Amino acid sequence: MKKVLAMILAGGKGERLYPLTRDRAKPAVPFGGTYRVIDFTLSNCVNSGLRKIYVLTQYKSLSLDRHIQRSWGFLNNRMGEYVYLIHAQKRINENWYKGTADAIYQNFYTIQLEKPELVLILSGDHIYRMNYRELIRHHLKKKADLTVAAMEFHKRHAREFGVIETNKNGRVTGFQEKPARPKTIDGKPDSILINMGIYLFNTDILVKRLIENAKKSDTNHDFGKNVIPDMLKTDKIYTYSFNAKSKNRDHYWRDVGTLDAYYRANIDLLKQGPCASLFDSSWPYYSAEEQAPPAKITGSMIKDGITYGSVMNSIISRGCMLDATNVRDSILSPHVCADRGSSIEAAILLDGIRIGKNCRIKNAVIDKEVIIPDNTDIGYNPDSDARLFTVSESGIVVIPRHTAF
């Protein structure tokens, strides 16, 4: 594992996650109460024995920088372990990163310094659990030049992902980027094999193909759109099936690139099923949680025949204070406070939110440090919500940080 270098792409603008990405990079968006999105990819690396990790940033990276420094300084530099942030520096030319492949190309010097045999390229905006050792073993067994992690999805999702075609041995024979009419899996007319954005390269092949791509002008400098399709003619590319049975893997994977996907992935934490293994202590997810007292849930009251003061099927983080409040199917980050007679249902509330008396919140994502006045309804009046806030395609109300009512 010491001969493998991990490079995490964390420089995307995250426009489809706006307003959560108004002030932060997409991988730095809070998730699951006490984590950031990037914590899942980083934890997978550390749990898999990968301890040489570069995080490539570009847009609005201050929040991400702070989080990496606070949460990931426990690796031992003396033993060659690290998580290093690399900001876009225009080392090769005067351009910012023009695509995923260009981001790696502009940071070739890190590969030259480390001289790894394999380079594992990952995305910093996915929620999943994967033991990369299995991917590496599969790559070596196949004697591949490139291995692409793939997962079986219903074909209705084809416009969201790259779609991979393979032969019966798992060798890649075709690659479609977000096709309207995807190639389905043989014998499964409703299923496609999607590209998970996880690439394991032999270093020499990676260097050659990125140099070739950089010389071209008619390209997006993107792995899925350009580099991998071009490699089909010259290199051995295999898939690694994330759906295959394994004692160390669940099969849960989500790209949280949109507001609805982010909301659903959070709510998945409250359900029984594959995502429940994110709470498995044998495969911990690391983060930095500030010091705070335990959550405090007090009081009860009856108003209009409804009893207030219960919490059901929810995650309540440290420092939360709930007084005669009903919480159901929700995730509360640290230091969320709610006053008497309020209800919170199917909502994601980030740090430091203050909710007044007799408020109703439903189907919402509320960013940090918002103060909600008494008698406020959110998620109950679609027309009013649409005038005041961002509303996702599925009707989730999203309120930016520091919003004033």
* Spatial CB neighbours of 126, under 8 Å, sequence gap ≥ 6: 37, 40, 41, 196, 197, 253, 254, 255, 256
pTM: 0.92
Outline which parts of the chain fall under CATH 2.160.10.10. Answer: 296-399
Q: What angle do CA 327, 317, 9 make, to 5 degrees?
A: 115
Tens-digit pLDDT profile for the chain (405 aa)?
Answer: 779 999 999 977 788 999 999 999 999 999 999 999 999 999 999 999 999 999 998 877 888 999 998 888 888 777 778 889 888 665 555 456 678 888 898 888 889 888 999 999 999 999 999 999 999 999 999 999 999 999 999 999 999 899 999 999 999 999 988 899 999 998 899 999 999 999 999 999 999 999 999 888 888 888 988 999 999 999 999 999 987 555 445 578 999 999 999 999 999 999 876 666 667 788 899 998 778 899 999 999 999 999 999 999 999 999 999 999 999 999 999 999 999 999 999 999 999 999 999 999 999 999 999 999 999 999 999 999 999 999 999 999 999 999 988
65 by Cβ neighbours in 10 Å (0-12 / 13-18 / 19+) ranks as middle
Q: How far apart are alpha carbons 88 and 388 in whole angstroms?
A: 36
Ranges of CATH 3.90.550.10 domains, the chain? 4-279
Q: How far is CA 279 from CA 103, 273, 283, 346, 347, in A?
A: 33, 11, 8, 20, 20
Which token pair is 254? 């989500």
Range 4-279 classified under CATH 3.30.1520.10: no
Please, which residues have CB within 8 angstroms of residue 316's CB and are 6 or more apart in sequence?
295, 297, 322, 327, 332
Given CATH 2.160.10.10, say whether it is the number of domain 296-399. yes
Question: Cα–Cα–Cα angle for 289, 291, 296, nearest 5°?
Answer: 100
Ramachandran class of 91: left when φ > 0, alpha when ψ lies in -120 to 50, beta otherwise? alpha
